[in-house]
């Protein structure tokens, strides 16, 4: 008969303590890095807890990334993007395997993700990626078509801005009849008077984007009224954000006084003529940039 204090009685307490510690560390890391502490709790608990389950050393990082992404989306009030969650899971798995299982520790995963973003954003990696995806082969054309087609492309753009660039995403599209109207999405980074607003327009074309395709900015049918409607909806969505008043006022001020940035997001083979970018700047009065 086992006595209190025996290994069999203590083991469950050690497991519970380890999971709780993982949750606390995950929340702390997210809090001090400007992330979502609730998602940190989930990632930390799942990551550490998986170590005590069969095969957890292999699937723990993926499960933590997948569930953490879903929690962040729900907490932001976003529409569930399963592709984004799967990508986050894949990244979690990759980081975990690269670190020989240590990626399940929340702080280590965060540091590795930060280093990964810095590497991904480096000029050399950007150049190599463009060269790889821009290869003029049948296989690469097929890959680009799958990767960037339709709504998945917009979701991929949101995922990139959120997970890689660290921005907060705000949906600004609305339906009028059978047509989606409004900016594809807006995003912001920072808080208080340091917050910066970005209006995102996703144009995943292979080749040059015709100027008339920027309908939301008044360069196509509907002209200025379409742009005014998009601005009105953007103001309404910012007003509805559950954020502090100073951050909200800063974002609204940038929208009103044309100090926000317009960012055109394209695919690997997308180009936008300088004349089109100039036309966008004339309509909005804002600085227009492209990504990549």
> Are residue 236 and residue 104 in the same domain, yes or no?
no
In a domain, 233, yes or no: yes
Digit-coded pLDDT (tens) for 81-101: 887 788 777 777 776 666 665
Which residue's structure tokens are 């008339």?
A: 212
The answer on 112 and 147 residing in a single domain is no
Contact present, 46 and 60 (Cβ < 8 Å): yes
CA distance 48 to 185: 35
Does residue 57 lie within any of the structural domains?
yes
Average pLDDT value for the chain = 78
- Closest residue by Cα to residue 203 from 150, 249, 250: 150
- Asked if 176 and 269 sit in the same domain, the reply is yes
Residue predicted with more confidence, 233 or 118: 233
Res. 189: pLDDT tops 90: yes
Q: When comparing pLDDT for 235 and 207, which is higher?
A: 235
Higher pLDDT, 273 or 292: 273
Is 27 in the same domain as 114?
Answer: yes
Alpha carbon distance 254, 260 (integer Å): 5
Answer for the pair 268, 130: CB distance below 8 angstroms, yes or no: yes
In total, how many domains does the chain have? 2
Better pLDDT: 292 or 81: 81
**Structure confidence at residue 146 as a pLDDT band (50, 70, 90):** very low
pLDDT of residue 2: 47
**Contact (Cβ atoms closer than 8 angstroms) between residue 224 and residue 163:** no
pLDDT at residue number 84:
79
Range of the domain at 240: 137-291
Q: Are residues 68 and 151 in the same domain?
A: no
Give the residue among 204, 56, 40 at the shortest CA–CA distance from 107: 40
Neighbours of 159 (CB within 10 A): 18
Answer yes or no: do 83 and 148 share one domain: no
* Same domain membership, residue 145 and residue 75: no
Does 2 map to a domain? no
Question: Is 251 found in the same domain as 147?
Answer: yes
């Amino acid at each position: 008969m086992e006595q209190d204090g025996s290994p069999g009685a203590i083991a469950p307490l050690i497991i519970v303590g380890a999971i709780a510690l993982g949750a606390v560390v995950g929340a702390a890391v997210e809090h001090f890095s400007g992330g979502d502490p609730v998602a940190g709790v989930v990632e930390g608990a799942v990551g550490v807890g998986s170590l005590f389950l069969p095969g957890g050393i292999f699937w723990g990082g993926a499960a933590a990334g997948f569930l953490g992404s879903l929690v962040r989306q729900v907490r932001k009030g976003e529409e569930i993007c399963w592709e984004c969650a799967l990508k986050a899971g894949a990244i979690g798995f990759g980081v975990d395997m690269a670190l020989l299982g240590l990626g399940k520790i929340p702080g280590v995963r965060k540091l590795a993700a930060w280093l990964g973003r810095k590497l991904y954003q480096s000029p050399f990696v950007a150049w190599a990626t463009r060269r790889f995806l821009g290869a003029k082969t049948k296989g690469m054309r097929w890959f680009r078509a799958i990767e960037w087609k339709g709504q998945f492309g917009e979701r991929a753009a949101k995922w990139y801005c959120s997970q890689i660039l660290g921005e907060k995403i705000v949906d600004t599209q609305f339906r009028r009849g059978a047509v989606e109207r409004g900016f594809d999405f807006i995003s912001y980074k920072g808080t208080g008077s340091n917050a910066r607003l970005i209006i995102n327009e996703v144009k995943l074309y292979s080749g040059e984007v015709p100027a008339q395709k920027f309908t939301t900015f008044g360069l196509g049918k509907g002209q200025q009224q379409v742009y005014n409607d998009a601005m009105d909806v953007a103001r309404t969505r910012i007003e509805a954000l559950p954020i502090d008043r100073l951050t909200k006022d800063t974002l609204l001020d940038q929208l009103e006084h044309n100090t926000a940035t317009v960012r055109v997001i394209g695919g690997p083979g997308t180009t936008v003529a300088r004349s089109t970018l100039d036309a966008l700047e004339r309509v909005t009065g804002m600085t227009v940039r492209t990504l990549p």
